[in-house]
Amino acid sequence: MFRLAVPVVMAELGWMTMGLVDTLMVGGLGPEAIGAVGIGSSLFMGVCIFAMGLLLGLDTLSRMLLARVASTSATDGSATE
């Protein structure tokens, strides 16, 4: 189970580090710039989470479609070997 969790943990640390680096790079520009980076980072994360959920749902639907096509061709006897 630990081997499965490592890539997820690394990805999350990468996202957090990206937000930290963005904040550090605009820190000298003032509080308005830091606020803008925070808002932008939050919006970006929201879009990414939505896209990941959409792609995970499409993965399930495509596998169901492929299984249906495979079972139909197996019952029809039209499978080629």
In DSSP notation, 16-78 reads HHHHHHHHHHHGGG-HHHHHHHHHHHHHHHHHHHHHHHHHHHHHHHHHHHHHHHHHHHHHHT-
Q: Which candidate, 26, 28, 57, 50, places its Cα nearest to that of 39? A: 26
**Residue 59 near residue 65 (C-beta atoms within 8 A):** no
Q: Can you give the pLDDT at residue 23?
A: 85
Chunked into runs of 10 residues, the chain (81 residues) has average pLDDT values of: 88 87 89 90 88 89 89 68 51
Q: Can you give the pLDDT at residue 2?
A: 85
**Residue 23 near residue 38 (C-beta atoms within 8 A):** yes
For residue 68, the one-letter residue type is R
For residue 48, the one-letter residue type is C
Decide: pTM greater than 0.85: no
Q: Can you give the pLDDT at residue 51?
A: 92
Q: Can you give the pLDDT at residue 10?
A: 93
